[in-house]
Amino acid sequence: MKDESFQFNYLCFLLFLCFSSAHSLVRNCSTGEEEEDINRSQFPDGFFFGTATSSYQIEGAYLEDGKRLNNWDVFNHRKGNINGENGDVADDHYHRYLEDIEILQSLGVNSYRFSISWARILPRGKFGRVNPAGVSFYNKILDSLLLKGIEPFVTIYHHDFPQELEQRYGSWLSPLMQEDFVYFAETCFKSFGDRVKHWITINEPNLFADMAYIRGRYPPAHCSEPFGSCPVGNSDMEPLLAMHNMLLAHGKGAKLYRDHFQKNQGGVIGIVVSAFMYKPLTESEVDLAAANRALAFNVAWTFDPLIFGDYPPEMRHYHGNELPSFSLEEKDIIKDSIDFIGLNHYSTFYVKDCIYSSCAIGGDRPIRGFSNTTGYRDGVPIGDRTGMASFFVVPRGMEEIVNYVKDRYHNKPMYVLENGYSPPRNQEVQEQEVLNDVKRIEFHKAYLASLARSIRNGANVRGYFLWTLMDDYEWVAGYGLTFGLY
């Protein structure tokens, strides 16, 4: 059984949402911002409070019950992360899902976001049969959640796919991947759509394009100088192509859902991006323009096509003909193809212009929007450091990114589908300090207060999901980061 002291600690964490007094202001020493107590009444009726996970990061059982190798299995076994860790066992959620749902319920949440392992449902993609054991596993999760009154939010693709698709045609660099994704999505709609009312097609396509095809740190590990040293890849071109195929895959999957499933199943479908907030490093006009470009080259890279039907004009201006084009038919498919906007927000960065200033490490390239990001100004960090070297505690960034999205996309319904804190790594920390975990509670109170302000000012935000339920495999960072409530 998981440590009951963790359960008590985080039950208290959720209780503050319901019972803390509202509107008292104190200075938060860790963030330097005015801290506002937060309670449940500051959020709309029907608001979802939940936690989030993903399949590869928690399930384990990597070759059990008909599942075959996915891209992360192969990547970690060949190259691995810096510590040689992998997700072969992870949290053993595949065998302990009932226990995990019990601790989820103990938190008092009313929703849970998880993802479906593509290689567990379709071990060979569309080149093989549906794996009944995989379908059965997720059926049991869904039934268990609903029995406890917890609403499932399901991500179809969260960075993991059958390795065979990479070997056959290069996965997201090929338009063939669009059709494989649609086949997988259809299988999910048919198998689970009677109980799933909130679908997320793809998790963070912008981050995946960056990590897999610019930096080469995610499989298939493609990159080129100056972003990295990989055997293959083109960091200036491949991320644009991979993103193009992911956007079209989403659009086709969403069209299939709306045309054949949505009316009877009564659900909604959207997508989620990695949504950092960007602030100008100085008060100069060029840095202000660079911060606006950074938002367009990250957040709007995904949402502009799926709402307006084409890439952001900021990207068209600087990429020119290098940026792929959508045909008239494709524009018709992708435009207005989301019922809601999903945001994964963790931190805020300063941005420096690289058009009129010299920059290193690729900031002077179109793929980075001719901008460099940093967490420091004049040697002073933008906020408290966290366990993630590039993440800082900047609560006001939550309100600012929500307001940016609200204004750019006409206040379309939004969900914050990830927001989380990992404490700085300290080998000498005592167990009791870990259990008390005051910094994590301060983090979420501050970010929730920031979110509540945006809602009071009219933002149509309908849910907040904390990353993550339990410490897990944090991709190339392995098990060293502790985002978990447990």
List, by residue number, the catalytic residues. 418
Rounded distance between C-alpha atoms, residue 478 and residue 143, angstroms: 31
Q: What are phi and psi of 452, to 5 degrees?
A: -60, -35
How far is residue 33 from each of residues 163, 394, 399, measured CA to CA in Å? 46, 9, 13
Q: Does the N-terminal peptide bond of residue 220 adopt cis geometry, omega within 30 degrees of 0?
A: yes
Contact (Cβ atoms closer than 8 angstroms) between residue 462 and residue 44: yes
What contacts 320, CB < 8 A, 6 or more positions away? none
Nearest Cα to Cα of residue 450 among 407, 411, 396, 405: 396
The two three-digit tokens of residue 18, written as one number: 């319901």
CA of 248: how far to CAs of 18, 298, 330, in Å? 41, 17, 7
Read off the amino acid at residue 116: I
Q: How large is the angle between the packed helices 238-260 and 301-308, nearest 10 degrees?
A: 40
